[in-house]
Amino acid sequence: MNRTAHLLRQGWASGGLALMASLRSVQEMLGTVAFVAAFCVGLSFMRGRAVEGTSVDAATAALPGVLGLSVVFTGVVATAMVLATEREDGTLLRAKALPDGITVYLIGKIVYAAALVLTTVALLVLPGLFLFDGLAAGLARGWPLLLGVLLLGMVATIPFGAVLGSLFNNPRLVNAVGAVPIFALTGISGIFFPITALPEWLQWIAQAFPVYWVGLGLRSAVLPDSMLSAEIGESWRHLETMGALGAWAVLGLALAPWLLRRTARRVSGANVEEARQKAMQRV
Amino acid sequence: MALTDDGAASVAAPLANAGPAVEARGLRMRYGDDDVLKGVDLTAAPGEVIVLLGPNGAGKTTTIEILEGFRMRSAGEVAVLGTDPAVGGEAWRARLGIVLQSWRDHGNWRVREMLAHFAAHYTPYATAERPRPRDVDALLEAVGLADRARAKVSSLSGGQRRRLDVAVGIVGRPELLFLDEPTAGFDPLARRDFHDLVHRLADEEGTTVLLTTHDLDEAEKLADRILILADGRIVAEGSADELARRVGTGSEVRWTRDGQRFVHAAPDGTAFVRELLEQHGDAVTGLEVRRASLEDAYMEMVARHESGRTAEAAAALEGIGR
C-alpha cells in the first residue's frame, strides 16, 4: 500500500470522525449555531441601509468582517483550545502510541479545522445570499477569490493555533491568555469598522498580523470597488494580501510541526494522570 | 475473553533464535537532583509474562514509559524488540501494544468507530505471521463491549473504558504488550476474563507482556516472573512461589487446645505440625497452616527496604529465579 495515501486517508478519516462527533455534540452544535445566529441577526439590523457615499448595503459590507472573524477564531483560538485539551486528556499520547499516530493526528486536525471554518462560512453566506442586497452579485464574481483567501487564511492561522496550544498546557489558560489578544487584534484589524478610522500606528500593528489581511481579502472578494475609499491606499492590495498571508503560512508551517512533536515528546502517562487529578480537584 | 478471530490460532510462536523481547541494563532516570531509577536491569524473553510490583513512586511507570519510547532515559542500555526505544520508528511502534494508566481521550467518539479507526493505523504493518489489525468486532466481543459498540466512549463505566483501552492496546496484534495497572476499576468477573485474555495472548500468540499492578493476587495469577521495584531498584525477582519461599517467616500455624487459641510462626510448618500432633494428639482442634504468601514476601521486601536494609534484603534474595 502507498504510505502517503494511507496517511492521508487515515488523517482524513480522523478529521471526519472528529467532525461527526462534534456534530453529534449538542453543546458544540449550539455554540456554532448561536455564533452564526447572533451575527445573522446583527447583520439583518444593518440591512437596507447603504454605506455612506455608496450604494452598498451595510449588511453586505459587514459580512466579510464576520467571515474573517470566524476564520481567525476557529483557526487560532479553537485549534489552540483543542490542542491544549487533548494534550491533557491523553489524545496526544494516544497518537504517540499508534504507528504514524502523530502524523495522522496533525492531518486530522487540519481537516477538522478547515471543515469547521467552511461550515461556519456556509451557514453565514447562504442566508446572506437571499437577505443581503448585492452579496449574490459580489460573490458571483468574487467566489474563487473568497475560497482562495479562506484557504490561505486557514493555512496562515491554524499553525498558530497549534503553536499557542503547545505553549500552554492548560486549556483554561489558553482562553484567558490566548483569546484576549486575538479579540484585541480583531478589534483593530478593520473587521468591524474601517481601519482608516484608526491612528496610523495602530494601523501598522494591525497590518503585521494575518487578521487584517484575511479581512481585506474577503472584502475584496465580496464588495464593489466603490468601497475602496475605506481601505488603506484605496486599494484591495491583492499582492500584499497574498504576500502577508503566505509569509505567515510559511512561518507557521515551519514552526508548528516542530513544536507539536516536541510537545508530544514531553507528554507522558504521568502528566495525563496528574492533569486528571487536578481536573477532578477543580470540579 | 476468547480471541478466536481469523488468524489468531495460526499465529506462529516466536522464533526460537529470536533475542529477548526486552533487555535493559543499568537503566537510570534522573529529574533534576532526583534519581527515580538507579540502575534497573530487566530482561523479558519472548512470550514471557512479567509483572512489576512496587509501592507508588518506586519507578514502575517511569520504567515502562522508557521502554515504550515515551521518555528519554538518563543512562543505560535498552533494547526493545531489538531496537533502542529512543530511536524506534513507526514500524517498530506497530509491533508494540500500550495500555497506559489513565486515558480519557476521544470521549465524544463512538466505541466501535474509535477502535476501527485505531485498528486501521496497523494495516500497512501486517506480516505473514502477524495479520494486522485484529478483526474489530471479534475484539469487541472478546473484551465484552459488543453491546456497547455504538455507545459514546464517555458514557462507558470506568471498567468498560479500561477494557476499551485494553482492546486498543491489542488491536494491532502486538509482539510486546505494556499494561500499566490495567485492571483498576474492573469487577471480579471482568478481572478474571482479563487474566484469561492475558494467558491466551502469551500462550497462543507468543505475546510478551510487561504489566504493573498493585493487586498481588493478580501478580500471582499472571506472572511467569515478578520483579519488585523499590526506590528505583529491582530488589527482588522470581516467581510468586520462589519469592514467597525465600522471604517471610515460613509458615504460620494456628490451633486451639483446651479452649485456647494459639498462633506460632514456624520456619518449617510441616515439621512443627507433626511435633504438635505427636505431643497433644486429639486435644488439638481447628488447625490452620498458612504458608507465607506473595503478599507476605512483598510486605517484607518493602518493609526491609523502607527500614534502610535494601542491600541486605537484596543480598538475601540474590539467586532467586535462576
Percent of chain B with pLDDT over 90: 50
Measured between alpha carbons, how far is A43 from A55 in angstroms, rounded to an integer? 17
Interface contact A96, partner B, CB < 8 A:
yes
Question: Is the pLDDT at B113 greater than 90, yes or no?
Answer: yes
pLDDT at B1: 54
Query: Which residues in chain A have Cβ-Cβ distances shorter than 8 Å to B180?
Result: 269
pLDDT at A92: 86
Least confident of A117-126, A165-174, A214-223: A165-174
Asked if B124 and A269 come within 8 Å (Cβ–Cβ), the reply is no
- Going by C-alpha positions, the residue among B164, B162, B168 that lies closest to residue B147 is B164
Q: What are the tens digits of pLDDT across the range A37-46?
A: 888 888 888 7
Question: Is the pLDDT at A184 greater than 50, yes or no?
Answer: yes
Choose among A3, A90, A104: nearest Cβ to B105: A90
Q: Choose, out of B106, B123, B152, the residue to mutate when testing the contact with A (most A CBs < 10 Å).
A: B106
C-alpha cell at B19: 533475542
> Mean per-residue pLDDT for B45-73?
91
pLDDT at B249: 60
pLDDT at B110: 95
pLDDT at B7: 43
C-alpha cell at B179: 499494561
Residues in chain B, overall count: 322
Task: Name, in order, each residue with C-beta under 8 angstroms of A188's C-beta and a sequence gap of 6 or more.
Answer: A195, A198, A202, A205, A206
Q: What is the DSSP string of A67-85?
A: HHHHHHIIIIIIHHHHHHH
Which residue of A lies nearest to B102 if distances are taken between CA atoms?
Answer: A273
pLDDT band for position B14 (50/70/90)? very low
Q: Quote the minimal CA–CA distance from A98 to chain B in Å.
A: 7
Question: Is the pLDDT at B207 greater than 90, yes or no?
Answer: yes
Measured between alpha carbons, how far is A66 from A180 in angstroms, rounded to an integer? 17
Q: What are the tens digits of pLDDT across the range A121-161?
A: 888 888 888 888 888 888 888 889 999 999 898 888 888 88
Residues in chain A, overall count: 283
Interface contact A173, partner B, CB < 8 A:
no
Percent of chain B with pLDDT over 70: 88
Interface contact A100, partner B, CB < 8 A:
yes
Q: CB of A10 within 8 A of CB of B120?
A: yes
Interface contact A104, partner B, CB < 8 A:
yes
Asked if B65 and A100 come within 8 Å (Cβ–Cβ), the reply is no
pLDDT band for position B192 (50/70/90)? very high
CA B56, distance to chain mean position in Å, is 15
Per-residue three-class SS string for A105-149: HHHHHHHHHHHHHHHHHHHHHHHHHHHCCCHHHHHHHHHHHHHHH
Measured between alpha carbons, how far is B38 from B41 in angstroms, rounded to an integer? 10
Interface of B with A in 114-133 (CB under 8 A): 114, 117-118, 120-125
Which residue of B lies nearest to A271 if distances are taken between CA atoms?
Answer: B102
Buried b / exposed e along A152-166 (16+ C-beta atoms within 10 A): bbbbbbbbbbbbbbb
> Mean per-residue pLDDT for B70-84?
92
ipTM of the complex: 0.79
Beta-sheet pairing, B49-53 with B176-180: unpaired
Choose among B65, B94, B120: nearest Cβ to A268: B65
Question: Is the pLDDT at B251 greater than 90, yes or no?
Answer: no
Domains of chain B (ranges, CATH numbers): 38-223 (3.40.50.300), 242-309 (no CATH)
What is the distance in angstroms between the CA of the first residue and the CA of the last residue of chain B? 33
Q: Which residue has the higher pLDDT, B140 or B55?
A: B140
